[in-house]
Amino acid sequence: MEIQILEETNSTICFVVRGVDTPFVNALRRIMLAEVPSMAIDEVVIIENSSVLHDEILSHRLGLIPLTTNLDSYNLPEECTCKSDLGCNLCRAALTMGVEAKDSTLTVYSGDLVPENPDIRPVSDKIPIVKLAPDQKIKLEAYARLGRGRDHAKWQPVSKCVYRHLPQVKIDAELCNNCGKCAEICSQRVLLNTRKAIEVRNAVECSLCQDCVDACPAMPRPAIEVTWDKSAFIFDVESNGVLPIERILLEALDILDKKIESFLELITGGEIEEG
């Protein structure tokens, strides 16, 4: 397997992976969506709520606020040694909120949540929760736990996780008369007319729309061929901020490796055969 990173920021990554098949990349995508743990508010104790939102709706909105996650300091509830439904400091993080509108309306934001552990805090302080009218107030305690996206979407660590085949664009120099129609119609600017020849630039951006093939007037067949590599894929992943993008990828690969080992142990009766 070969990996080539095309673009990377603090929250996004785009890379090409070669030498794999569709089941592998699909399993990796599903694990990133549904198996990589992250923190989210799972229980809310409402002490006072005179806002227009019912307690259940307010709790639901709090649960959907992305929280920064420290996987090295917390356990999944089912794996924690406390074995308690209430949780402990190793599997639960507390946040509190106490806001009140005085003489004018007040918008309550995610930044009004005060974390017990600074490592577990809202990714953004500017997520609106509710608007309070004068003399309305909210006082509550919220408890965040690790969870997986397969149980609830609030535990998904990624906001985007897609893959597609790596495009292959080929120009037949013998058939091409350099008319430039294919380059003119290409919306992704993959083709460039240099006046001497049609050149392929940045084939990764090709959307496989085939418009350039349809526009080519060459006979007896188009001078351009657009296909894809069945053993190479472009991955585009974006974190919602709860975990660094590299940590999400590493955790997904580790989980996939453990699943494969578990499957091999199952089919071999507990003994993994070499090869």
Q: Domain for residue 259, yes or no?
A: no
> In terms of domains, do 138 and 43 share one?
yes
Give, in order, the Cα–Cα distances in Å from 26 to each of 37, 151, 238. Answer: 18, 19, 16
What is the per-residue pLDDT across 147-162, written as a single tens digit (0 to 9) for each?
999 999 999 999 999 9
> In terms of domains, do 30 and 166 share one?
yes
> In terms of domains, do 68 and 166 share one?
no
* Residue range 184-195: mean pLDDT, rounded: 88
Residue ending a domain, among 136, 155, 174, is 155
What is the per-residue pLDDT across 92-105, written as a single tens digit (0 to 9) for each?
999 999 999 998 99
> In terms of domains, do 116 and 188 share one?
no
CATH number at residue 201: 3.30.1360.10
Question: Residue 273: what pLDDT?
Answer: 52
The pTM score is 0.84
CB 113 within 8 A of CB 68: no
Q: Domain for residue 257, yes or no?
A: no
* Residue range 47-63: mean pLDDT, rounded: 96
Question: Residue 274: what pLDDT?
Answer: 52
* Residue range 93-118: mean pLDDT, rounded: 96
Q: Taking all residues of the chain, what is their mean pLDDT, rounded to a whole number?
A: 92
Residue range(s) defining the domain that contains residue 26: 2-34+160-236
Structural domains in the chain (count): 2
Joined tokens for residue 214: 């349809």
Question: Residue 275: what pLDDT?
Answer: 47
> In terms of domains, do 225 and 180 share one?
yes
> In terms of domains, do 76 and 113 share one?
yes
Question: Residue 201: what pLDDT?
Answer: 86
CATH number at residue 147: 2.170.120.12
Give, in order, the Cα–Cα distances in Å from 274 to each of 24, 104, 252, 264, 265. Answer: 21, 71, 24, 11, 12
> In terms of domains, do 49 and 142 share one?
yes
> In terms of domains, do 92 and 13 share one?
no
> In terms of domains, do 30 and 42 share one?
no
Element (H, E) at 62: helix 55-63
> In terms of domains, do 27 and 48 share one?
no
Nearest-angstrom CA–CA distance, 63 and 203: 41
